[in-house]
Amino acid sequence: MNANVETTSTLGRKLTIEVAPEEIRTELDRAYNELKRGVQMKGFRPGRAPRHLLERFFGDQVRGEVIQKLVQEYTQKALAENDLKPVVAPEIVTEETDLAKALKFSAVFDITPALVAKDYEGLKIQELRIEVKDADVDAALERLRERHGTLKKVEGREVVQEDDFVVATLEALEHGKPLEGVKSENRLLHVNPKALAHGIEEVLIGAVAGKPAEKTKSYPADYAEKEIAGKTVQWRANVRDILKRELPALDDDFAKDVGEYKSLDELRERVRKDLIDNAREEADARARQGLLDLILERNPLDLPQSLVAREQRVLESELHSTLEGAGVPHAQAQERVKQSADELKKRAERRAHTALVLDAIAEQEKVEVNDEEVGDRIAKMVTQAGRERDRVAQFYRSEENREALKRSMRRDKSLEVVMSRAQKTEEGA
């Protein structure tokens, strides 16, 4: 093997590798011998098919497998020999793949920047006061009551009022032509400005069940929803049914229905405890975020662009899945992801910066995560996944995904170390 390392930027490297012909022949012989043992060809006993026939029928497949194996094997060998540690798996560029001549390729990658994390001990973080008022408990109980409400068809009234629920068909038109992806048929809608976007409640309030209703609305050019930004839209609605939500009485029977509570007072105390726990978790998350901001500020570094690009692809995929899960058509979801590119890149840069700094702290503090801890975390996620448990379990059968989780847990542990050494000050101090 002949390997040459080229520095393309501060962190960029290009590793050009040429595999010796004898190594290629040895690997081809091994691949064909293995194929011969397992393939059956008409007119030949198992294991007796001649090499030239194997090459004729399986040559492309064998060459592809050999190239893949040699590229992977010699890339890892060259990286080890040159003490190079890519921050992200190298991009492989093939230059010569005619195995009768040679195999030549390049591995392009960024190395992990050298970093000694500093100034992360004894940082000050504000400890927020946790306070849950009776009004907070009352509001939470009311939300619980609403979740257990039932919808019943309104009798004796045909005109839609604010806060009704309706089953309606809704569509949007511009210049008489329907806007793609906006129409919804027989959809349950809560006629409330907090529940509906684009002012659609104005179309529905006053509509008569069984009769079409319409209203024209204009939207500014900088409107958040790009599909209707800068357009004058004619909204059409046809209400099929009007429903009203009936709420259960807030009493001891309600407490028994929603859980194993003997009384409303017992339910109220449980709600108060949950609110306190949630407030503590939120305060802790804000403290961690503030602490992380300080650490990143004190540890600037050049970011490997390949790592930023990978993080951005992950964020784009997550956003796309979220949008499609919310009912946004595929093409529109792609367009929204594209429009969010600048914001997603900033988030990707922060994620890359965070990962590198916390990895450096982990090395310095000798933080480790063992396989048992990873297994326990996966078991917990599978249990909490409900209907998705099989998909989650399958995802973490992959060694690559388990290693990614292990790295994430190690970074969390590193931040815990920093948190444990931080100086907590009272809110307002």
* Residue 105, domain CATH: 3.30.70.1050
- Residue 41, pLDDT score: 83
- The C-alpha atoms of residue 277 and residue 140 are separated, in whole angstroms, by 14
In terms of domains, do 225 and 264 share one? no
- Residue 226, pLDDT score: 77
In terms of domains, do 235 and 271 share one? no
Q: Is residue 144 part of a domain?
A: no
How far is residue 306 CA from its own chain's centroid? 18
Sign for the pseudo-dihedral over CA of 379, 384, 387, 391: negative
What element of type H or E holds 139? Answer: helix 134-147
Q: Is residue 135 part of a domain?
A: no
The DSSP code sequence of 358-402 is HHHHHHHHT----HHHHHHHHHHHHHHTGGGHHHHHHHTTSHHHH
Q: Where are the beta strands (DSSP E) in 128-270?
A: 150-153, 165-174, 177-178, 184-190, 212-218, 232-246
- Residue 427, pLDDT score: 60
- Residue 428, pLDDT score: 52
- The C-alpha atoms of residue 336 and residue 226 are separated, in whole angstroms, by 8
- Residue 341, pLDDT score: 94
In terms of domains, do 417 and 306 share one? yes
Sign for the pseudo-dihedral over CA of 127, 132, 135, 140: positive
In terms of domains, do 308 and 398 share one? yes
Of 246, 270, 305, the domain-final residue: 246
pLDDT tens figures, 91-104: 999 988 888 888 99
Of 211, 246, 281, the domain-final residue: 246
> How many Cβ atoms sit within 10 Å of the Cβ of residue 242?
23
Q: Is residue 130 part of a domain?
A: no
In terms of domains, do 275 and 233 share one? no
In terms of domains, do 103 and 167 share one? no
- The C-alpha atoms of residue 227 and residue 390 are separated, in whole angstroms, by 37
Q: Is residue 356 part of a domain?
A: yes
Q: Is residue 133 part of a domain?
A: no
- Nearest-CA neighbor of 409 among 382, 364, 376, 384? 376
- Nearest-CA neighbor of 302 among 79, 90, 114, 107? 114
- Contacts of 300-303 with CB under 8 Å at 24 or more apart are 301/113, 301/115, 301/353, 301/356, 301/357, 302/10, 302/11, 302/113, 303/113, 303/349, 303/352, 303/353, 303/356
In terms of domains, do 269 and 395 share one? yes
In terms of domains, do 267 and 220 share one? no
pTM of the complete model: 0.74
Q: Which domain holds residue 415?
A: 260-426
Output the domain CATH number for residue 407. 1.10.3120.10
Q: Which residues of the chain have pLDDT under 70?
A: 426-429
Domain count, the chain: 3
In terms of domains, do 95 and 162 share one? no
pLDDT tens figures, 143-162: 999 999 999 999 999 999 99
Q: Is residue 156 part of a domain?
A: yes
In terms of domains, do 80 and 168 share one? no
- Residue 429, pLDDT score: 47
In terms of domains, do 71 and 40 share one? yes
Backbone Cα Rg of the chain: 31
In terms of domains, do 181 and 314 share one? no
Q: Is residue 89 part of a domain?
A: yes
Q: Is residue 85 part of a domain?
A: yes
